[in-house]
Amino acid sequence: MKKSAFIVFLVLFWTALSAADTLVNVSNEPKGTNCENGGVRIDIGEDSDPANGILDENEVENSYYVCNGIDGSATAVSITEEAPGGACGEAGGIKITAGAVSRYVCNGADGSDALSRTSEEAAGENCENGGIKIEVGLDNNPKNGILDDEEVNDAQTKYACNGADGDAGKNALVKVTDEPKGNNCKNGTGIKIEVGIDTDGNKVLDNNEVTSTQYVCNGKNAAQGAQGDKGDPGEPGINGTDGKDGAQGEKGDTGPKGDQGDQGAQGETGENGKNGLSSIVSVVDEPKGENCVSGGKRINVGLDANGNGTLDEEEIDPESVYYVCNGRDAEEAGLTSSSTGCSVNAVDDTDDMIFAFFAMISLICAFAATKFARR
C-alpha cells in the first residue's frame, strides 16, 4: 500500500516538473501533522519574481511529503547530483531515488539577461519639454551585453520628461552700516548687518526688503590700572630712529615773496606699478586648545600670492588670524586674534548667534585686509 502511494506521488511529482522554469526544493520534514514519523518534504514552484534560481517561499505552488513508515521499513529515498552529460543532458540536475525507482529534476537552460539603455528625447509628442527615453529588452541575439534595436521591447519603453522652466529666483542682499553706541551696542560702537531678498530687482537692499538684522559690537575698554612706582634710571640708550613728523601747526602769516628759482631738470619716468594681490579669507574648524578652550572656528586672511584663487598655508598672514570660539555662556564667547584687529562680544546669550554672525565677520575682515593690501 505504501509503495503504491509513493508511485502515485512520483507521477504527480514528475507531471509538476514538466512546467518551464520550475524549481524544486527538498528538505527534511520533522515528526508532526504532515509526517507522523518524519520524512522528506518536496516543494515545487516556478521561479517567477525575482528570477534568481532559488525557490522562495512565495513561489511554492505544491508541496509533497515522503513519510517514514511506522515500522521503520519504509522505502529509503536518496537525492544525488546528476552531472552534465547524463540523464539531464548538458544542463545537469539532481537524481531522486526511492527504492528501485529513480526520477530526475533537470536544470533549465540559462535565461537571457535584461538590458536597458537611455537616450535624450527631443521636445515633442512624448515629452513636451524634452527629457530622457528609457528602453528595455532581453539580450537574445546576439548575446553581446548591448541592447540592440531589434531587442527593444517597445511596450516597455518609458519617458522621464523635463518639467516647464520655473520663474527666475530673487537675489539675497547684505547691507553693513556703522552702529553708534546705544541700545543695540551698549559698550561702544559697532556695525549693523541687514539681510534680505531683492524683491524689486534693483540690486539695492531697501528698508522694506530687510528680513533679518544683527549687530556686531566693539568690546568694552577695561579700566586703566594704577600707576606703578618710579624705577631707577636706566643706562643711556642708543639713539633711536627719527620719529614721525608731528601734526602740522597752525598756518603762520604769509611771508614776503621770494625770488623765483631756476627750473629743475625733469626727472625720469618711473616704472608702472604692479597689480596688487587679491585678499582671500578661509574658515576652518579650531579644536579645543590654547586658542579656543571649547573649540570654535579659525579665520585665516592673506594675499593670493600665486593667483590660484585659494588661500594656501604659506599665504596666511600670521598677523591676520582670528578665532571665533565656542563659549560656555554668552559672556565667555568672543573673537580673539594673534594681533590687533576685529573683536566680538555676543549680543545675546546663545552660541548660535555668534556663528550666525560668522559669515558677516569674515566679510568685514576681508574688506579690511583688502584695503591694507592696496596701500
For residue 32, the model assigns a pLDDT of 92
Instruction: Grade residue 244 by pLDDT with cuts at 50, 70 and 90.
Output: confident
Instruction: Report the b/e string of 165-178 with b at 16+ CB within 10 A.
Output: eeeeeeeebebeee
pLDDT of residue 117 exceeding 80, the answer is yes
pLDDT of residue 151 exceeding 70, the answer is yes
Residue 15 identity: T
Q: What is the mean pLDDT of residues 96-122?
A: 82
Instruction: Grade residue 118 by pLDDT with cuts at 50, 70 and 90.
Output: very high
Residue 82: Cβ-neighbour burial (10 angstroms; 0-12, 13-18, 19+): buried
Q: What is the CA radius of gyration of the chain?
A: 44
pLDDT of residue 99 exceeding 60, the answer is yes
Cα–Cα nearest to 346, from 223, 215, 222, 248: 215
Residue 179 grid cell: 552702529
Which of 103-117, 136-150, 172-186, 332-346 has maximum average pLDDT?
172-186
Q: What sign does the dihedral 132-133-137-143 (CA atoms) show? A: negative
- The per-residue pLDDT of the chain, averaged, comes to 78
The Cα–Cα gap between 328 and 161 comes to 53
- The pLDDT tens digits for 354-369 are 554 665 676 676 666 5
Q: DSSP for 321-361, please give it.
A: EEEEE--SSTTT-BEEESSS----B-SSS-HHHHHHHHHHH
